[in-house]
Each structure stands twice: as structure tokens, then as C-alpha cells.
Structure 1
Amino acid sequence: METVHVHADESCLGNQFRDRATPGGAGGLVELWRSDQWVRRDYWVSEPDTTNNRMALRSALELLAALRRPCRVRFVSDSQYLVKGAREWMPGWKRRGWKRKAGPIENLDLWQRLDVAMQSHDMTWEWVKGHAGHPRNEYANELATRAAREQNQSGGLVDSGFQGWLEGEREKGRYLDFFEFQAPAGG
């Protein structure tokens, strides 16, 4: 079973304004080890009026929809809502018939879709602090904010711009100590 590493982020522009639409985006950097090298792909989606939490769920759903066969998925996000929800809350909600102890489940439709989409994969959920200098998370943030701003989508996995983005950041003196993942044990 192939291992896929994903760094995803979400963006919602204008959260501070309650009287107008808040366009959102989600994006991710997908990496897998194949033929002795890292293969990278990107994806992004947008919605014209949404929330950060909804876009965090969309980031996971879009990734899982793009996978063509069962994989081990290491999904890294700065959304505690997504990571805690998938790891901790969702099993309890399912046991209680998709109910919370206190009120309705926000974004229930997306949580239920995520539950189904996860079934054929071995998922690991990891939280990383956002905007803390993690290059992969910062790149995913760039994809998400651009999708929110431009209101477009990748239409699935596309060739990644991570290496070019990283080189541009290094020219600005950032991420000079960042090194590639090492080859995974056993491929």
C-alpha cells in the first residue's frame, strides 16, 4: 500500500465581516515516494461564501476523491477542527447515530461524506501549528488563499509548484534550513 503525505490548509477571506459573503479556499500539497524520488502534486478548491471549518473538511474530501486506490494517508493540517474531528469526535458521533451531546453537528453532510471517503484508506491525522514557518503548511496556505481570492479549482491533482515556490522563498532568505524528507523505510 502506497503512502501519501498531504499538507493541507484552508482560507476564508473576510471572516471579520458579517454582512457580506466570505469566499473560501482549500489547498494541499501531496507527496509520495516513487522510483527513488518524491513525486509532488497540488490541489485546490473554492466556495463563494463559506467558513474555515467547511473548507478544512473540503480539503480532506478533495484529496480523498483524487486518490485512485487505497493508500496510507498522512494528512497534516493546521485545522484542529478537522484533525480532532476526524480522530476524536467522529467515532463518538457515529456511535450516537451522528448526534452530539450538545446540539447539532456543524457541517454534518461533510463529516458523513468524509467518513465514507476514509473507509478504503489507512488515515493518520496530524496537527501542525499554522503560520509557524513550516514550508509545506505555508505552501498549502498559499494554494488555499489563492483559491479563495481567485475562486477557482485545480480539477484534481496537478503538477506541483512547491519546488519553484520554495526556491523563491529561499531567495528571500526563508527556509534555508529546510531539507527534503528522506526516503521512507521500505519505499
Structure 2
Amino acid sequence: MQIHLYTDGAAKGNPGPGGYGIVLEAGPHRKELSGGFRRTTNNRMELLAVIVGLEALKNPGQQVRVVSDSKYVVDAINKGWLRSWIQKGFKGKKNIDLWKRLIPMLQKHQVQFQWVKGHNDHPQNERCDRLAVAASEGQGLPIDHGFENLEGL
């Protein structure tokens, strides 16, 4: 059974408070996940949504279609940018901590990426957007250490 993983990220101020939203669907099953951080970027949240969604899958070898409105994430995979970044040791790239966290998930599952235009009445994408925005507006948001630790350098 193919799993559909719908994702979105949001950040106010970019950098600023941010969040991610996830809708997982497999047959009749549906699960929603979200989380937020006090200071982060939109691209980090877009990428983290994919990671958290894949990490939520219990069994290895799942067939997963990731549907995202992030050209950054989808093109990095579909256009082979990630392979090139790995070969070059991620030199000059951002969000290295997250890309390195994603790689084992891509090896663990059979993952395809599909881009969808954001804010275009796609029901699951719109739901992910609402989850991400709500998560970014939460109280007492945790630190995105991968962002804030590098930002201070």
C-alpha cells in the first residue's frame, strides 16, 4: 500500500517563529503531525516536515509519495542536487543537519517526491499549511538548535 505524505512549512519573518505540518494517508488511515520552533526558516520547516513524516513510519521499505509545495525540497531530490551536495561534502550549503537526517530515511523507504503549487486549493496541502502556521504561533516554542547554533557563529 502506498503512503501519501503531505507536508508544508511556515516561518514568520524568515527567520522567525516557524512550524511544520504533516498529513499522512494510507488507505483509510490518516494521521496529522505538527511542531514549531521559536526561531527558524521556512526552508528548514519544509525539510523538517518531510523528515518527521518519514520518521513516523513504523516499517522499513514503505512506498511513500511525498507531496510538497517546496521547490527547495522537491528539486533537491528530483533534480539530483542532494547527490551533488553529498559528493561535495555539502560545501557552502545550508540546513546540512537536516539533509543528513533525511538521507537515511530516503534509504529506508522507497520515496518519490511530487511538487504541488501551494495555496491552490489542494485540500491536504491547505491542511498542512494550517497545521504549520498554528504550530508556529504556539507558546513556549522550543529552540531549533540546528538553526540558532549556526546563526550565532
TM-score range relative to shorter protein? 0.7 to 0.9
User: 1:97 is paired with a residue of what secondary structure?
Assistant: coil
Count of matched residue positions in the alignment of Structure 1 and Structure 2? 139
Give the drift of 1:95. 2.5
**Structure 1 residues 127, 74: closer, same or farther in 2, change over 3 A?**
same
Alignment check: 8 A CA contact 1:12 1:51 kept: yes
Instruction: Report % sequence identity.
Output: 39
Query: Of 134, 143, 150, which residue of structure 1 is paired with 2:122?
Result: 134
- 1:60-71 equivalent positions in 2, closer than 5 A: 60-70=50-60, 71=62
Give the drift of 1:109. 1.2
Unaligned runs of 5+ in 2: 142-153
Cα deviations by residue, 1:116-156 (Å, 9 ceiling, x for unpaired): 22211000001100001111110110111011111589xxx
Q: Distance in 2 between matches of 1:132 and 1:45?
A: 23
- 1:73-152 equivalent positions in 2, closer than 5 A: 73-87=64-78, 88-99=80-91, 104-150=92-138
Q: Distance in 2 between matches of 1:144 and 1:152?
A: 16
The structure 1 segments of at least 4 consecutive aligned residues displaced by more than 4 Å after TM superposition are none
Matching residue of 1:181: none
The structure having more radius of gyration, on CA atoms, is 1
Matching residue of 1:47: 37
Q: Distance in 1 between matches of 2:19 and 2:128?
A: 10
User: Structure 2 length normalisation: TM-score?
Assistant: 0.85
Matching residue of 2:148: none
Q: Distance in 1 between matches of 2:113 and 2:6?
A: 10
Greater helix percent: which structure? Answer: 2
Alignment check: 8 A CA contact 1:45 1:152 kept: no
Letter of the structure 1 residue corresponding to residue 22 of structure 2? G
Matching residue of 1:25: 19
Unaligned runs of 5+ in 1: 16-20, 154-187
**Structure 1 residues 90, 152: closer, same or farther in 2, change over 3 A?**
farther
Matching residue of 1:161: none
